[in-house]
Copies of this chain bind each other. A is one copy, B any other.
Amino acid sequence: MRKKSIGFIGLGAMGKPMAANLVKAGYLLSVYDINPEPLKELAALGARKGNSCADVSQDVDTVITMLPADPQVREAVLGVEGVLQTAKAGATLIDMTSLGPHTSREVAAAAMAKGLKFIDAPVSGGNVAAEKGTLTIIVGGEKEVLEAQRDILETLGAKIFHVGGIGMGETFKMANQMLVAINMLGIVEAFTLAVKLGADPHTLYETLKVSAGGSWILENRMPNYILPGNYTQPGFALDLLRKDVGLAVDSGKLEKVPTFLLSEAFQVLTMASAEGHGNKDYSVVTEIFEKLAGVAIKS
């Protein structure tokens, strides 16, 4: 079977290595980004440099969008030079951006009104997994549409979950990010208070990880970032988590669901970002509490 032709839009920290993996796997790629640098890099690997979202969407089997957030996706798909100006009926749009579920559905509806197929397929794993092609991909949409694009998704990721209809990929990603933020900030408060009372942070970590308070975040962030006091690569930037939590705050508002702890988490992340920590791993929020309490959790 011939390899699909793909229009790939968005060559940032995630999109660039993903597009590169698709080129290397033999797909015919037309790529577009507002930044000329990564365009050149992809062209050097064999992709065709496009001039606009509309340009790379013309006559391809699949369009992939991997962009920063909701406004960019709206512009790229619905805009005057957007995907829907040229993409042909029967083509598939895979939006891999982390979007608000409401935006995802709005974009999907517009695409389907033009005869396109759609799946929302946000990822996790960060740029390391993007480079290795080992992303986790959470897919919403019809099963047949997913299956027809499985070859592409398996080139990009190691685990593919199909979790429901359109918008459910974004919804599940959002729920996960809610727990990441809330569990993380709970850990920061618990450790700060306990260490202020005299607890040894290593012993506390070893005890809690086998107790009812245990979590993936505890087992991952405590030994890898917080105890060593090292908030650099290849973590997940605080401003990106703040963006994801903000999408969930917005969804709670639209759906009229109270989100007490989530909103609190958003405020603490906002404070941390305002203090200049936005580009560090989100667990850096620990430093704010260490400073306020006059304690050292790191060793």
Seen from chain A, the residues whose Cβ lies within 8 Å of a Cβ on chain B are 101, 124, 136, 138, 161, 163-165, 167-168, 171-172, 174-180, 182-183, 185-187, 189-194, 196-200, 203-204, 207-208, 211-218, 220, 246, 248-249, 251-253, 255-268, 270-271, 273-275, 289, 292-294
A-B pairs with beta carbons under 8 Å apart, 20 shown: A101-B197, A163-B199, A163-B200, A167-B197, A175-B193, A175-B194, A175-B204, A176-B190, A176-B212, A178-B189, A179-B212, A179-B218, A189-B262, A197-B251, A255-B293, A257-B270, A257-B292, A258-B271, A259-B267, A263-B267
On whether the beta carbons of B164 and A198 are closer than 8 Å, the reply is yes
Query: Which of B165, B198, B216 is close to A171, meaning CB atoms less than 8 Å apart?
Result: B198
- Report B-chain residues with C-beta under 8 Å of the C-beta of A218: 179, 215
- Report B-chain residues with C-beta under 8 Å of the C-beta of A268: 260-261
Which DSSP category, helix, strand, loop or mixed, fits chain A's interface?
helix
Q: How many copies does the complex hold?
A: 4
Further pairs besides A163-B207, A176-B207, A177-B213: 11, Cβ < 8 Å: A163-B200, A176-B208, A176-B211, A182-B183, A182-B189, A183-B183, A183-B213, A189-B262, A212-B220, A215-B216, A271-B292
Query: Which of B175, B266, B271 is close to A213, meaning CB atoms less than 8 Å apart?
Result: B175
